[in-house]
Structure 1
Amino acid sequence: MEYNKLVAVSGLSGLFELISSKNDGAIVRSLNDKTTKFASSRIHQFSHLESIEIYTIRDNVNLAEVFNAMKADGTALPDVKDDKAIKAYFQKVYPDMDFDRVYTSDMKKIVKWFDLLQKNNIEVKLTEAEEEAAAEEETPAPEVKETPAPAKKSAAKTQEAAATEGEPVKKAPAKKAAAKKAAKKKED
């Protein structure tokens, strides 16, 4: 099972592996009990774990960074029923988190999800495309000097110029008229 196939489904607890998607929903497999079910998109919303970001005091970070910090810390996970213990845990593990905007309920979800990932031996890593995009953001792109191309007069500009000079404005032929002329030429 890969991290990039995991989704959170609104209204359903836990995490799910996205097996297949359809126009009206998706087929998902629960990480808790390995049951497979259809989740309708009319009732549920799907959030890929890779797309979830966490508020920090600097820039928002991907949820995978928080999971990796939790894994690197190695501290035992707090009891999800103890709000103070959860907040203290995240203050120790990820102190850059913006605790005014990240609610305790969100922190509880993160702890539950991390526990599920650990139980299912899922390696938390972003896909290569997202890693490359993050690397491009960190390194500035070299400046490219462009030489301006010679300007071509468009039909709209020539009409504007004629209108300002007081000449009558000629309208461009409509597409239908051009199509009729082309069809007439083919007949001849």
Structure 2
Amino acid sequence: MSLDKILSIGGRPGLYKLLTQTRTGFVAESLLDGKRVTVGMTNNVSVLSEIAIFTLKEELPLKTVFKKIQEKENGGTTAIGHKEDKIKLEEYFFEVVPDYDEERVYPSDIKKVIQWYNLLHKNGITDFEVDPEESDTEEE
């Protein structure tokens, strides 16, 4: 499953898998507990494939950040948890994305990235290969 079908819903913990669309919104299933929820158009929803991390040069797609974490951890879960203190989180993230913009990427963002990566890994969603079109724009 690609990150195009994985959602973050404002005010709700964890990530959700998009199941179907309805007239007034859509139905999603929690990756935490498997419960289904109906989400209206008024909810703040982000698709993981559309999220990017600020670096000093450009915006790095979340998929690329997940791929770098996966390479660092040899395909396993992260060495630190998302509840670690600010300094440890920043040190870890600096190893993964050395040129991330420290002024625009907050510790809460790093916590989310680590938590989301581990949740995706736990649910068997580990295909973070970057599309050829995306890698062309990164090299430029």
Instruction: Give TM-score scaled by structure 2 length.
Output: 0.86
Higher relative contact order (CA 8 A, sep 6+): 2
94, 107, 110: which one aligns with 1:107: 110
Aligned residue in 2 for 1:120: 123
Is the Cα–Cα contact under 8 Å of residues 4 and 126 in structure 1 kept in the other structure?
Answer: no
* Higher deviation after alignment, 20-29 or 59-68: 20-29
Q: CA separation in 2, counterparts of 1:106 and 1:39? A: 23
Is the Cα–Cα contact under 8 Å of residues 80 and 111 in structure 1 kept in the other structure?
Answer: no
- 2:29 counterpart SS class: strand
Question: What code does the residue aligned with 2:72 have?
Answer: D
Q: CA separation in 2, counterparts of 1:21 and 1:116? A: 23
Cα displacement (A) at 1:136 = 5.5
Per-residue CA shift, 1:23-45, capped at 9, x if unaligned? Answer: 32210000000111101222x12
Cα displacement (A) at 1:66 = 0.7
1:39 maps onto 2:49 in alignment:
no
Aligned residue in 2 for 1:69: 68
Cα displacement (A) at 1:22 = 2.4
User: What is the percentage of aligned positions where both structures have the same residue?
Assistant: 30
Cα displacement (A) at 1:47 = 1.0
Cα displacement (A) at 1:81 = 4.0
Cα separation, partners in 2 of 1:57 and 1:48, compared to 1, 3 Å? same
Considering only CA atoms, is the larger Rg found in Structure 1 or Structure 2?
1
Cα separation, partners in 2 of 1:12 and 1:135, compared to 1, 3 Å? same
Is the Cα–Cα contact under 8 Å of residues 67 and 129 in structure 2 kept in the other structure?
Answer: no
Question: What code does the residue aligned with 2:90 have?
Answer: K
Cα displacement (A) at 1:17 = 0.2
Q: CA separation in 2, counterparts of 1:133 and 1:68? A: 16
Cα separation, partners in 2 of 1:73 and 1:12, compared to 1, 3 Å? same
Higher strand share: 2
Q: CA separation in 2, counterparts of 1:106 and 1:23? A: 32
Is the Cα–Cα contact under 8 Å of residues 31 and 119 in structure 2 kept in the other structure?
Answer: yes
Aligned residue in 2 for 1:158: none
- 1:90 counterpart SS class: helix
Q: CA separation in 2, counterparts of 1:21 and 1:91? A: 38
- 2:113 counterpart SS class: helix
**Mapping 1:76-155, distance limit 5 Å:** 76-125=79-128, 131-134=131-134, 137=137
Per-residue CA shift, 1:50-106, capped at 9, x if unaligned? Answer: 010110011111001111111111151244241111111111121111111001111
**Cα RMSD after superposing both structures:** 2.2
